[in-house]
Amino acid sequence: MTTINAANAGTYSFDDQFKVNRLGYGTMQLTGPGTWGPYADPENGIKVIKKALEYGVNFFDTADSYGPWFADRYLAAGLSGAQNRDQIFISDKVGQTRQGPNIWTPHGEPNYLRQQVEVSMMTLGIDHEDLVFLHRIDDHFSIADQVGELKQLQDEGKIKHIGLSQVTVDQIKEAQKVAKIDAIENLFNVSDHRDDDVVDYAASQNMAFLPWFPLATGELAQPGSVLSTMAQKYQVSPAQIALAWLLKRSDNILPIPGTSSVEHLADNVAAANVELSTADFNGLSQLSQK
């Protein structure tokens, strides 16, 4: 019987210290409706994180704007007391403010970015951030000022790696003039959002690529759809097919599917055991024409 273990998806190295398992976990769903307020069942949220650890997940993605703060609190509680805590990698995001459900307002003032990093470290109970993304570029401030503040925090030892979220190749290149960029987090999935040029550029620059909303399969997951039909062929779920496609798309892709269900978590991690044929991978790759 094949085990459910994120390590089956292979590993990725941000540095020489340790390797993260490519199939991670995102905390965004551990909040109230509209990513606002507390999650309805905090104990269950903590249980899901602990179960993710049991399944070999050692890469967790979060942001202070999830809640705000609530997802970070559940993540900290779920990771507390974990064995090999120093072998768990957390990616965080700063640069968004929240004024209510489904409302997201970028704010890239350097002092604010610094405050978010400092408060996030306190909330997560850590003395440095493994990876911090600029959640969104704020057009009111230059990329040099926003990324430059993260670079200063990096120089102070408070951030190990710097990333960018929802950016173009040109914006990445602009940021690279200021600091070494180690990761990109963009909306990307097999069905309808495909910044392939960003994925390929990130790979060429030895940057990790985190696809958010990786399971937005939509109509493609409905009965009779391409993903549903292929899932029947492999005797897995459509979500597992979508994740398997991401894992095969490029070695620098680290999917971070989020869920508040232990059952869905097991299903997601089991995608690490799915190996798509070249023909099926190519067929899925043609589903979205950007």
Annotate the chain with DSSP letters as a single string: -----GGGG-EEESSSS-EEESS-EE-TTSSSGGGBS--S-HHHHHHHHHHHHHTT--EEE--TTTBTTHHHHHHHHHHTT-TTGGG-EEEEEESEEEEETTEEEE---HHHHHHHHHHHHHHHT-SSEEEEEESS--TTS-HHHHHHHHHHHHHTTSEEEEEEES--HHHHHHHHTTS-EEEEEEE-BTTTB--HHHHHHHHHTT-EEEEESTT--GGGGSTTSHHHHHHHHHTS-HHHHHHHHHHHH-TTB------S-HHHHHHHHGGGG----HHHHHHHHTS---
In a domain, 51, yes or no: yes
% residues pLDDT > 70 (the chain): 98
What CATH number should be reported for the domain holding residue 272? 3.20.20.100
In a domain, 148, yes or no: yes
In a domain, 233, yes or no: yes
Quote the pLDDT of residue 75.
98
Q: How many domains does the chain have?
A: 1
For the question of residue 66 being annotated catalytic, the response is yes
Residue 160 lies in domain? 15-285
Region 246-263 average pLDDT? 96
Region 252-268 average pLDDT? 96
Query: How far is the C-alpha of 255 from the C-alpha of 267, rounded, in Å?
Result: 14
Query: How far is the C-alpha of 162 from the C-alpha of 191, rounded, in Å?
Result: 28
pLDDT tens-digit readout, 167-202: 999 999 999 999 999 999 999 999 877 889 999 999
Please give the model's pTM, rounded to 2 decimal places. 0.96
Region 244-260 average pLDDT? 96
The residue annotated as part of the active site, out of 66, 74, 201, 234, is 66
In a domain, 4, yes or no: no
* pLDDT higher than 50, residue 246: yes
Per the prediction, the chain carries an average pLDDT of 94
In a domain, 84, yes or no: yes
